[in-house]
Amino acid sequence: MSKFGWSLPPGVTSRMIDEQMGTEQPCAVCAKDVDNCICPECRQCDSQGDPRCYAVEASCQLKLSREQVLSRMDARISHLREDLLGEEMIREMIAEGGDFSPLLSDNPDPWR
């Protein structure tokens, strides 16, 4: 065992494990599942969904499409809905007599 607690066998990456476990992260550009990524393949570096290809200083200089922007917004809206649902569940629990902190610093800022 390494000094960091564990290590992967030679040639095995954490991405390989994620693929086998089905725990892949969404595309960093369009925010869709990697199997449904709508990003074009970069003509210069042959990668797909690489945010570095969209950077101003990148030689690739890919530009976001309308579909990519809408997909990113849909993902953000979905995350915000999940956050809102969590807040509503906590509020309901407190309203029904659940524990809460009387300290202002422990409670969320309503104007954040």
pLDDT tens digit at each of 112 positions of the chain? 444 446 677 777 766 676 676 667 899 999 999 999 999 999 998 999 999 999 988 888 899 999 999 999 999 999 999 999 999 999 999 999 998 888 888 887 787 7
Q: Would you say residue 59 lies in a domain?
A: yes
The pLDDT of residue 2 is 45
Number of domains into which the chain is organized: 1
The tokens for 106 are 């422990």
Q: Would you say residue 2 lies in a domain?
A: no
Q: Would you say residue 33 lies in a domain?
A: yes
In this structure, how many other beta carbons lie within 10 angstroms of the beta carbon of residue 62? 22
C-alpha span between 38 and 29 (Å, rounded): 9
C-alpha span between 78 and 89 (Å, rounded): 17
Q: Would you say residue 90 lies in a domain?
A: no
The pLDDT of residue 42 is 93
Q: Would you say residue 68 lies in a domain?
A: yes
The pLDDT of residue 25 is 87
**Structural domain boundaries, residue 53:** 27-83
Q: Would you say residue 102 lies in a domain?
A: no
Q: Would you say residue 106 lies in a domain?
A: no
How far apart are the two ends of the chain, measured CA to CA in Å? Answer: 44
Q: Would you say residue 105 lies in a domain?
A: no
CB 68 within 8 A of CB 50: no
- pTM for the whole thing? 0.67
What size, in residues, is the chain? 112
The pLDDT of residue 23 is 62
